[in-house]
Amino acid sequence: MVEKIYLAVDLGAESGRVMAGIWNGKTLRLEEVNRFPNGGVHLGETFRWDVMRLWAEIQNGLALAGKKYGQQIVSVGADTWGVDFVLLNKQDEILGQPYHYRDARTRGALERTFRKVPRAEIFAQTGLQFMELNSLYQLLAWKQNSPALLDAADTLLFMPDFLHWAMCGAKRAEFTIASTSQFVHPLKRNWALPLLKKLGLPTHFLPKIVPPGATLGKFRKSLADRTGLAGVKVVAPPSHDTASAVAGVPTANTGKANWAYISSGTWSLMGVEVKKAALSPRALALNMTNEGGIDGTYRLLKNIMGLWLVQQCKRSFDAAGKKYTYAELAALAAQAKPFRSRLDLNDPRFNNPPDMPKAMQDFCRETKQTAPKTAGELVRCAYESLAFKYRETLQSLEELTGEIIEEIHIVGGGSQSRLLNQLTADACGRPVVTGPVEATAMGNLLTQVRADGELGSLAEMRAVVRRSCQVERFEPQKPR
């Protein structure tokens, strides 16, 4: 068959890229078209996203793809991190510079909110893990700090929905990204309007929710002219990057809960794929989350502070003139003495400290542990803390599902850390299968392939991943 090309716009907290998926009817080959840095921008006392620069980089990538692949390109879809959003007024002007989820304005928001609506009631209406960065608390901060702008808002678009609007003009909320907000009902699969009204928040700007795989329209003429992509469709993939990553897991056990995934990057998202949201008092007590997945599934998972720890350590090392690559840091960690200290990854001091190594060292001293000093010791401490958190989360998932998890799939950029992979297998006592690194792009692109009529089921999509990508297996070793 003639090869078809699909494009994924994949934005992470540290970088973004436009990826091409070349489909030959059996396998999907990925080619990177444009990669660019991402990250928050300090503005006054706030922390924001520079969405105009991101959109400019995306347009550059689309234009490069147009020159390279031309009429072979069928569709484009975007995925990003969760919770953050853009507000548009009736004239489609952006209201304010969009906030970064690590902005300090939501600190203390949980307790303030629980005084109005009990924790258990919020969980029953949303099924989501309680984190101050969730969209619900961001909206409450808007109401407190900028009520006039909130009142002027006509449309709320989560980050990938905003990119889809920029591409084709559609104002829709894709289900998986909307489900990260903590104001989508986990059973009705629609906005939790009674909760928002009880908190005094407006609801008029919430768009219609659509499922992953929905066709949103064709490129705006002006964008098509600039990029040479006339007639290209915009298809909503699982627009939360973790939802796309889970769709791209190469498991042969679709429909079963006997495997777990870890989407490993700035965040580690560890969970299982289930058919019904877990809303029991025990799920609430364990602070688990039920985020939307493809084909009506839910991702019962825990959001875990992931390789953000290592990324911020690297930033501090760079600032001090000690420039390491991530591979060099992993090698130093492998040489460091094991099991000297362990972090509580729920401690808010690690959210966005000015100096991550100091924050880690202060925590260890305060908890009477040996404080890591060298770069290798700091990274090893981060890895081991993550591995033990994965073990704890594995036990919670098995308790809630009643299933024994037989295998853990690690996908995403963090799957390249062989030391962390082995530590995870050892701590959890389960085999770990790693890869693909580009699971998010694979899930995004294969959803578009399916929307184009080339594939029929999620199981078929995952079979394509197995045919297209190599994986590596780590067996648990005896604990030292």
**233 three-state secondary structure:** strand
Furthest-apart CA pair in the chain: how many Å? 64
Residue 26 lies in a domain: yes
Indicate whether 439 belongs to any domain. Answer: yes
Tell me: the pLDDT tens digits for 146-165? Answer: 999 999 999 999 999 999 99
Same domain, 218 and 281: no
Query: Is residue 264 domain-shared with residue 173, that is, in the same domain?
Result: no
Please give the pLDDT value at position 264: 96
Strand partners, 3: none
Question: Domains in the chain: how many in total?
Answer: 2
| 103 within some domain | yes
Residues 10, 79, 84, 241: which is the catalytic one? 241
362 lies in a domain?
Answer: yes
Distance from C-alpha of 264 to C-alpha of 414, rounded to nearest angstrom? 5
* Distance in angstroms between the alpha carbons of the first and the last residue of the chain: 54
CA distance 350 to 6: 38
For residue 313, being part of any structural domain is answered with yes
| pLDDT reported for residue 269 | 96
Cβ(186)–Cβ(176) below 8 Å: no
Say yes or no: 9 and 94 in one domain.
yes
Q: What is the spatial order of strands in the sheet that 267-274 belongs to?
A: 289-292, 298-305, 267-274, 259-264, 407-411, 432-434, 472-474
| CATH classification of the domain holding 51 | 3.30.420.40
Q: What is the pLDDT of residues 164-175, one digit of tens each?
A: 999 999 999 999
Of 216, 235, 254, which marks where a domain is finished? Answer: 235
**Does one domain contain both 81 and 164?**
yes
Residue (of 464, 461, 449, 437) closest to 6 by Cα position: 449
Burial per residue of 306-340, b for 16 or more beta-carbon CB atoms within 10 angstroms, e otherwise: bbbbbbbbbebbeeeeeebebeebbebbbebeeee
Q: Is residue 102 exposed (0-12), middle (13-18) or buried (19+ Cβ within 10 Å)?
A: middle
Is residue 161 part of the annotated active site? The answer reads no
pLDDT in tens, the chain (480 residues): 689 999 999 999 889 999 999 999 999 999 999 999 999 999 999 999 999 999 999 999 999 999 999 999 999 999 999 999 999 999 999 999 999 999 999 999 999 999 999 999 999 999 999 999 999 999 999 999 999 999 999 999 999 999 999 999 999 999 999 999 999 999 999 999 999 999 999 999 999 999 999 999 999 999 999 999 999 999 999 999 999 999 999 999 998 889 999 999 999 999 999 999 999 999 999 999 999 999 999 999 999 999 999 999 999 999 999 999 999 999 999 999 999 999 999 999 998 899 999 999 999 999 999 999 999 999 999 999 999 999 999 999 999 999 999 999 999 999 999 999 999 999 999 999 999 999 999 999 999 999 999 999 999 999 999 999 999 999 999 665
Verify that 226 and 276 share a domain, yes or no.
no
Angstrom distance (rounded) from CA 414 to CA 420: 8
Gap between the Cα atoms of 327 and 329, Å rounded? 5
Same domain, 109 and 155: yes
| Percent of the chain whose predicted confidence (pLDDT) is above 90 | 97
Domain range holding 439? 246-480
In a domain, 377, yes or no: yes
Query: Is the domain of 141 the same as that of 274?
Result: no
User: Which 3 state secondary structure label does DSSP give 98?
Assistant: coil
Residue 330 and residue 467 in one domain:
yes
Residues 122, 201: Cα–Cα separation, whole Å: 14
> Does residue 114 share a domain with residue 205?
yes
How many other β-carbons are positioned within 10 Å of the β-carbon of residue 278?
A: 20
Which amino acid is present at 356? M
At 256, which amino acid appears? K
Q: Extract the tokens encoding 271.
A: 């969970």
Q: Answer yes or no: do 355 and 461 share one domain.
A: yes
Distances (CA, A) of 80 to 13, 18, 220, 318: 8, 12, 21, 27
Place of tokens 């949303």: 126
> Are residues 193 and 84 part of one domain?
yes
Distance CA 143, CA 162 (A): 21
Given 235, 268, 297, which residue is the final one in a domain? 235
> Which of 194, 213, 235 is the last residue in one of the domains?
235
Q: At what angle do helices 375-401 and 356-366 cross, to 10 degrees?
A: 70
Both 339 and 437 in a single domain?
yes
DSSP conformation letters of 20-89: EEEE-SS-EEEEEEEEEE---EEETTEEE--HHHHHHHHHHHHHHHHHHHGGGEEEEEEEB-SS-EEEE-
Residue 240 lies in a domain: no
In a domain, 241, yes or no: no
